[in-house]
Every structure is written in structure tokens, then in C-alpha cells.
Structure 1
Amino acid sequence: MPDNSNKFCESNHTCIQIPSWINGSYFKKLLKRELSDFRKILHLSIIPASPPGECESYTSLLMRIIIDIEMKDGFTQQKSYIMKTMLSDAEGIGFVNTLNIFPKEKQTYELILPQLEQLYQEQGRTVKFAPKCHWMENVNGRISLILEDLKTKKFSNINRLKGFNMKQMQRVLEKLAEFHAASAVWHQRNGPYPEDFQRVYLPANYHRSKSYQARIQSYKTAMASWGFANAELYTSRLPTADQFVQSAAHCLNNDPQEFQVLNHGDFWSGNILLNTTVAGDINEIRFVDFQRCKWGSPAQDLWELIICSAHHSLRIKQFDCFVRMYHTHLIQCLKLLNYAKPLPLLKELHMSMLRHGFWGYFTTFMHLALILLPVDKDASLPKLMLPGEEGDRCRTKVYTNPLYVRAALSIFPFLQRRGLLEF
């Protein structure tokens, strides 16, 4: 069997070394456990889990493992898995470890997701939220997950540049409502989620950050070129570093009087996989990447989904309709699962969306700019945050991208009308 330990995954013209321990011997234990008539591995291939330049991960090494195996009866078959593990020390594992995102994701797959699905099973309904996790381990602090490869079951992402259409948005919002409702009932039964789910990482030194200052300056310059009738109305309202951190902290502080759920925390189309019919209707939906789950208002997931992944013609026009779609299904699910607390009213959800409206600005400024950027080897999150000329060139490209400008020209007036740019 060929040894792939020294080969490289090439993504977005960046070479990523595959750790030597990811090899045939490592996968034998999984195959022996899953297949009683497994004999041996004939060939093992390791490739990036997403196309070059798409959905790059800066916190994980994400690989598709394709294995040709021979069975005891002499027949052969192919198995495919998605493997997610920590980056090496040289690639930033020290920083990533401080975020506790891998322990959180391991807990989610190991404990929380099966129990959320079990809540529906108890009511006679089969609901799946995520790919099956075949294997997980923590070896001296290095956490690895081996997940079902949903591509083999005809699941795929939509084109992130186009976003979800109306029918897709309704189905995704309903699936999100099922996830949120189960998470609220889980909390009711089991008490608070583990500590990692109560908090998220927030940089403490934004006010001294040259990166933030550079990004804001580039953003203001770009805004002046977008075509606003009064660009100063918006550039003057961009938050300072202190306002940015204070607003984020306010959003992340939980109000026990408010209806709360376990947010996915990174809820955009890249983390939502669809299985569709030939006609384009959705059969099933699965979520992936549970590293940023956070207990709090459902406004976080709703703002990110609508801003980052609704089709541009729907994002603002149907905003309130999307909130209502979500709320209608949320109430149905809470009733089905015997939620014992008062059911959240639609007006209360709208009020929560306003209270946590900073997510609207945050996702526009932070996430949408990269999500709407066509594949570009010269633009990436690290470069976007880089002070200096190289960073300026990247930011100019990102912030003047026509797809992003079109989105921003409708989002900023919407945020302004709702008073959400008053920091």
C-alpha cells in the first residue's frame, strides 16, 4: 500500500503537509470495527475535503480519505470519510487550542447531537442534524474526528455566491428551528450546557490592534466608492475598536429572561449541506462544523444565515418573513418536544433580533465580505487582517468586489433604518 504521509494537499495554491500518522495503519482500526469481513487496505488517498480556494479552514486540517479495501471473500469496495484534526504547531495549534473549539466540537458529536436527535425519536420522529461520526479521539491534546462523507450520499453545498432561494431558505430555517427547539428542551432536562458552550473567544486588545484599524480605514475608503448618495452617513457610524468589542460582548452576554438556544455559531451556506431531488427540491439537510456553538439568543444564527446566505434579492425584502418562518416552525417543534416554559412570541423574537442587531453589522463586515468573494489565490482571511500594503491590496479587492458592494448597498440602509448602526 502506498505511503501518503509525505504528500501534500494543495488548496488555494497553499501546500499543507499531511501528518505522517494519518496513514493506512491509523484507519485499519476503524475499518476492523466497522466491517466484520475486512481483510486489508489496497490503497489510501488523501485529498482536500473542499475544492481549491473554497471554504478554507484556518483552524482545522480537513481531508477526504478515500480507501480501497479488500474483503475476506476477495471482493473489493471503496470507503470514503471526512477527517478533521488540529493543525500542527507550526500552523497555529497553540492559538487554536486557546479557543477550545476542538473539545467543543468533540462534545457536540459525542454527547449533544445524539441526545438532540433522541428527543425527536421519543416522539416518533427521525431527525438527523449532522453527518455520522465514525471515530473520535483525544491523543495528548490532539483531537481528531472521522465523519461520514456526505458527498457519497449526494449531499452538496449551494453556490455561496448566489445564496439560498426562497424554498431553500424556508427548509433551512425550519431545520434550524428543529435544532434550536431540541437544544432548548435539552437545557430544560439537563441544566446548563458545559462551560465551553457558555462563552466564545473575544480579542481583548482590539483597541490596540493595527489589523482592525487597517481594516476600518480600508473599509471607509471602499464605502466612499460604492455609490451611496451620502456615504458619510455610513462611514461616520462604523464602530471604533472599543465599540466593536463592547457591542460583541453585549451580544454574547446571556439574558436569563430571554428565550435561549444552542446556536450553531457559524451558520452560513458553507456549513449547510443539501440532498436534493432532480427537480431541485430538498430531501434532507445536514449541518457541519460545530466548533463555535454558543448558548444564547437564536438571533445569532438567524442574522448570520439571512445576511450571509439568502439570495441577494431576498435578504432584505423577505427579512421579517424569514423570522416568521423560523418562529412558526420553532413553536411547532417546542410543542412536539413538550417544552415546559412559556413559548416565545413572534414579537419577542423580533425584539431579540433588534437587541442583538450587532450580529447584522458583524456578519456583514466580517463574514459576508469573504463569502461573496469569488475564488482568488491573492485574497484570504490572514491577508485581509494584515496591516500594510499587501493587506491594503487584499482589502481593496475584497471590499470593492461587485457582489459584495451590491449586498452592502442594501444591508447598510436596512441596518440604519432599524437603528442598528448606533454604537
Structure 2
Amino acid sequence: MPDNSNKFSESNSNDMHVKIPAWINMAYFKKLLKRELSDFRKILNLSIIPATPPGESEGDCPTSASTSTSLLMRIIIDIEMKDGFTQQKSYIMKTMVANAEGIGFINTLNIFPKEKQMYELIIPQLEQLYQQRGRSVLFAPKCHLAENVNGRISLVLEDLRPKKFGNINRLKGFNQKQMHRVLQKLAEFHAASAVWHQLNGPYPDDFQRIYLPANYQRSMSYQVRVQSYKKAMASWGFSNPEQYASRIPTAEQFVQSAARCFNCEPQEFKVLNHGDLWSGNILLNTTLACDIKDLRFVDFQRCRWGSPAQDLWELIICSAHHSLRIKQFDYFIRIYHTHLVQCLKLLNYSKPLPLLKELHMSMIKHGFWGYYTTFTHLVFILLPVDKEINLPKLMLPGEEGDRVRAKAYTNPLYVRASLSILPFLHRRGLLEF
């Protein structure tokens, strides 16, 4: 067979809008297939396509630190077996983009080494804790290969699309039954992470590091966003918009509030947070009635040891259906807590079990996550596909930045959400910075 190891469909490369690295070729995947399939003979064809539709990306949010520094691809391989039969294999591949803008800063966060540790080591161990108790609980796609070649980290993961997994419409959010199931899965993940800590000691330093918003006090980016936010807020329909505009934190208050969220008391119940838990990072296998049969989490670059309040605030604010987000907020916390305690007992957690009232107190103590995720992530999550709007443009001073911010902050879906979220946060005293 001719050597086509570096040949790909021209349309595939163009569709990606990025240059496919030359090392991602038939020879690379031949080694993987030989290791996994004893009767593998040869690769007949290899195709590389975007892992998700244009304008979207699996687990991608324009506020994500890795958005412009990761390449996410679906690898489809036609193979011939030793008996002459053919079959098709597909994988999801995630790798670092060489020389991407901002890669130096991203490397200081160690998000890629952290994700490699999660897929390769920690997640299988969390799943094994349940297997030892006679339960099958899976948290993520299977990792077929995780490697670090001269600082370039790459992951080859199970492609769950053939198994009918996919994302919900992020603009609509999870319904009541879906939220119930996602909260249970989150409780399973958190419980296992707490027991892992109990058995193995502290997580590596990367999982305990504090990441504060960069340069908020030294640049104009935060100030211009706040100015546009207040201007947009005046048009939302609040009877007294100044009541909320006056409570938007200054840059110093914003950073200090974030720092307090990272400082957990020693006796406080802690878990390994996913750290970026919204619908785009949750893959569902659903019935025709939209009930969840199974689900997996993806994108483990922001995992961090701390209060479960971080994941709970982000999940509820960013991904619950707008009619449920506030109305069912306390009910969602109870669902999570009930299952969390059940899982901790199953896994023989030896420390005192967290009380429901303690969890509510933690949600208040770390309530800045509620405001933070509303002001940042939710803006993009509720924005219909718009290639014009991204985080750098949102932070840009001047007329172009003002125009982009006005468009984002007056998006009807975001306005509807904010009209219920901000009064809710205010009633709980969480806008007192």
C-alpha cells in the first residue's frame, strides 16, 4: 500500500481552520491500533474532522483558558483485520497547539498536565472505588493514550458519539429530570474524590493552586466591561437598575472576593471540583423522551480541590433551564446532598458526613461563584453562535469593544437570566462586596 501517512483530505484541513500537525498521521495511530487490537493488519483510510459542528466546540466556552491553545479532532479510521474483514474505529484527539497566542500564560496554569493526570490516573482510580463496592460508575470517556512529548501533551480518548452521546442545547439548559441525574453524577464524582483524598493524601499541587483573575487591577479590561455592563443593565427592565449597578464589584473587590472563594477552612468538607461544569462539558445518552440513560464529563483542565460550592454554583447558574434555575435552586442542593451522603457511606468515608445546612452555608460563603459565573461564563453560554464575539473582543477598549459588549450584554436570553439571578443573589446578601 502506498505511504499515505501524511496525506489527508484537503477539505478536512480547511474545515478545521487550523493546520493539522504533520505528526498526526497513519503511523501515529498504527502504533495505537497494534497495541489495542491483536488481529489488526493495516489502516485503509484515516480522516480528521472537527470534533463538533462549526461555531461550537466540545467543552468549549470562549472564556475557557484553553480555547485557543487546544486542537480537538475526531479521528475516523478504516482498518483491515488479519481475517480480511474491515471495521471502523473513531477517537477524539486533543492536543496542544504549538505557538498559540497566550500559550506562555496557559503553560503557567499547568492545565494540560493536570488534564493528563485526570484521564490517565485519577479518573480510573475514582471509578475503581465504585467497582470495589460492586457498582459500575464511569465519569469520563476512556483514555486510550496520554503522552507528553517534549512538553506537548496529547490525549486520545474514546469517541462517545457512536454510542449516541451528545450535548444538550446550551441555550435551553437541562430540564428537571436531567438536572436530577446530572447532580447525582456530580455527587458520585465528588464523593469518590473525597474518599480518594482520604486514602491517598493531598492531590498534586496543581490541583490546589489558586488562580486569581489576571491583571484585573492593572488593566482597563475589567473597567470597560463594567461600564458596558452597567449601561446595558439600564435597558434590561429593572424597576431600579441602580440598585444592582451600584453593587457591581470594583476590580479590587472582584479579586479579593475570588481569593476568599479559594480559601477554604480546614474543617470544611472538600472535594475535587471539575472546575468548568456546564452543559458543554457534559455528554448525555438520552431516550426519545430526553431522559438520561448515561452521562460523562469531559474537559478536566480546571479541576481543583475545594468546596463543592464551585461546581454547584456553575452547574445551576449556567446550565439549568431558565424556569428552574432559581425556583428549584434549594431543591437542587438537596438532591445533590442526599446522593452525596449515600455515596460517601457506600465508599466508607471515615470523616463526619456533611450536613445539608453546612452545604447551604458553604454555598453562601462561596456565593461569589454565583456572581462570577453570571458575569463571565453565562454571557457566552447563552449567546447564539456569533463568530464576532469572543473574550478578547469583550475586553477591548474603544468603539469596537463597546459594540461587542453591548451586543453580548443585551442578548435577550442573557437579559432574561440576569433579571432572575441578580435579585436572587441580592436577596441572599451575595452582592455585598
**TM-score interval for Structure 1 and Structure 2 normalised by the shorter chain:** over 0.9
Counterpart of 1:131 in structure 2 is: 141
For the residues of structure 2 that align with 1:336 and 1:295, how far apart are their CA atoms? 21
Counterpart of 2:32 in structure 1 is: 30
Counterpart of 1:107 in structure 2 is: 117
Given that 1:369 and 1:404 are in contact with CA atoms closer than 8 Å, whether structure 2 keeps it comes out as yes
For the residues of structure 2 that align with 1:77 and 1:383, how far apart are their CA atoms? 45
For the residues of structure 1 that align with 2:398 and 2:25, how far apart are their CA atoms? 41
Counterpart of 1:19 in structure 2 is: 21
For the residues of structure 2 that align with 1:141 and 1:254, how far apart are their CA atoms? 32
Using the TM superposition, give the Cα deviation of residue 204 of structure 1 relative to its aligned residue in structure 2, in angstroms: 4.7
Using the TM superposition, give the Cα deviation of residue 110 of structure 1 relative to its aligned residue in structure 2, in angstroms: 1.4
- SS of the residue 1:212 aligns to: helix
Using the TM superposition, give the Cα deviation of residue 41 of structure 1 relative to its aligned residue in structure 2, in angstroms: 1.5
For the residues of structure 2 that align with 1:173 and 1:151, how far apart are their CA atoms? 22
- SS of the residue 2:15 aligns to: strand
For the residues of structure 2 that align with 1:216 and 1:261, how far apart are their CA atoms? 32
Q: Cα 1:161–1:218, aligned 2, differ >3 Å: closer, same or farther?
A: same
Using the TM superposition, give the Cα deviation of residue 64 of structure 1 relative to its aligned residue in structure 2, in angstroms: 0.7
Using the TM superposition, give the Cα deviation of residue 278 of structure 1 relative to its aligned residue in structure 2, in angstroms: 2.6
Using the TM superposition, give the Cα deviation of residue 321 of structure 1 relative to its aligned residue in structure 2, in angstroms: 0.4
Listed one character per residue, the Cα deviations across residues 88-114 of structure 1 (whole Å, up to 9, x for unaligned) are: 114432222111000000111111111
Listed one character per residue, the Cα deviations across residues 196-247 of structure 1 (whole Å, up to 9, x for unaligned) are: 0001432452111221111111111111111100000111110111111111
- Which of the numbers 211, 214, 219 marks the counterpart of 1:201? 211
Q: Quick check: 1:3 aligned with 2:7?
A: yes
- Which of the numbers 52, 55, 63 marks the counterpart of 2:54? 52
CA RMSD of aligned residues (A): 1.4
Given that 1:48 and 1:64 are in contact with CA atoms closer than 8 Å, whether structure 2 keeps it comes out as yes
5 Å-filtered alignment, 1:174-185, equals: 174-185=184-195
For the residues of structure 2 that align with 1:46 and 1:386, how far apart are their CA atoms? 34
- SS of the residue 1:85 aligns to: strand
Given that 1:5 and 1:19 are in contact with CA atoms closer than 8 Å, whether structure 2 keeps it comes out as no
For the residues of structure 2 that align with 1:355 and 1:131, how far apart are their CA atoms? 33
5 Å-filtered alignment, 1:269-288, equals: 269-288=279-298
For the residues of structure 1 that align with 2:341 and 2:127, how far apart are their CA atoms? 17
- Which of the numbers 330, 349, 352 marks the counterpart of 2:359? 349
Q: Quick check: 1:313 aligned with 2:323?
A: yes
**AA paired with 1:27?**
F
For the residues of structure 2 that align with 1:251 and 1:257, how far apart are their CA atoms? 15
- SS of the residue 1:315 aligns to: coil
**AA paired with 2:206?**
D
Q: Which structure 1 residue ranges, 4+ long, deviate > 4 Å from structure 2?
A: none
Given that 1:200 and 1:292 are in contact with CA atoms closer than 8 Å, whether structure 2 keeps it comes out as no
Given that 2:9 and 2:47 are in contact with CA atoms closer than 8 Å, whether structure 1 keeps it comes out as no
Count of residues in Structure 1 that have an aligned counterpart in Structure 2: 420
For the residues of structure 1 that align with 2:341 and 2:78, how far apart are their CA atoms? 47
Given that 1:116 and 1:183 are in contact with CA atoms closer than 8 Å, whether structure 2 keeps it comes out as yes
Runs of 5+ unmatched residues, structure 1: none
For the residues of structure 1 that align with 2:363 and 2:125, how far apart are their CA atoms? 28
**AA paired with 2:7?**
D
Given that 1:251 and 1:356 are in contact with CA atoms closer than 8 Å, whether structure 2 keeps it comes out as yes
Q: Quick check: 1:267 aligned with 2:277?
A: yes
5 Å-filtered alignment, 1:376-391, equals: 376-391=386-401
Q: Cα 1:4–1:306, aligned 2, differ >3 Å: closer, same or farther?
A: same
- SS of the residue 1:403 aligns to: helix
Using the TM superposition, give the Cα deviation of residue 54 of structure 1 relative to its aligned residue in structure 2, in angstroms: 1.2
Greater CA deviation, 393-402 or 375-384?
375-384
Listed one character per residue, the Cα deviations across residues 320-375 of structure 1 (whole Å, up to 9, x for unaligned) are: 00000000000100111111111110000000000000000000001000000001
Using the TM superposition, give the Cα deviation of residue 307 of structure 1 relative to its aligned residue in structure 2, in angstroms: 0.1
For the residues of structure 2 that align with 1:9 and 1:297, how far apart are their CA atoms? 43
5 Å-filtered alignment, 1:4-403, equals: 4=8, 8=13, 10=15, 15-55=17-57, 56=60, 57-403=67-413
- SS of the residue 2:46 aligns to: strand
- Which of the numbers 393, 415, 418 marks the counterpart of 1:408? 418
**AA paired with 1:219?**
Y
Greater CA deviation, 165-174 or 205-214?
205-214
For the residues of structure 1 that align with 2:281 and 2:100, how far apart are their CA atoms? 26
Listed one character per residue, the Cα deviations across residues 353-404 of structure 1 (whole Å, up to 9, x for unaligned) are: 0000000000000100000000112112222222222222211111100000
- SS of the residue 1:16 aligns to: coil
Q: Cα 1:121–1:249, aligned 2, differ >3 Å: closer, same or farther?
A: same
**AA paired with 2:299?**
D
Runs of 5+ unmatched residues, structure 2: 61-66
Counterpart of 2:64 in structure 1 is: none
The alignment's TM-score, normalised by the length of structure 2, stands at: 0.94
**AA paired with 1:280?**
C
Given that 2:170 and 2:382 are in contact with CA atoms closer than 8 Å, whether structure 1 keeps it comes out as yes
- SS of the residue 1:19 aligns to: coil
**AA paired with 2:55?**
G
Using the TM superposition, give the Cα deviation of residue 38 of structure 1 relative to its aligned residue in structure 2, in angstroms: 1.5
Listed one character per residue, the Cα deviations across residues 394-416 of structure 1 (whole Å, up to 9, x for unaligned) are: 11111100000000000000000
Given that 2:69 and 2:100 are in contact with CA atoms closer than 8 Å, whether structure 1 keeps it comes out as no
For the residues of structure 2 that align with 1:236 and 1:221, how far apart are their CA atoms? 12
- SS of the residue 1:32 aligns to: helix
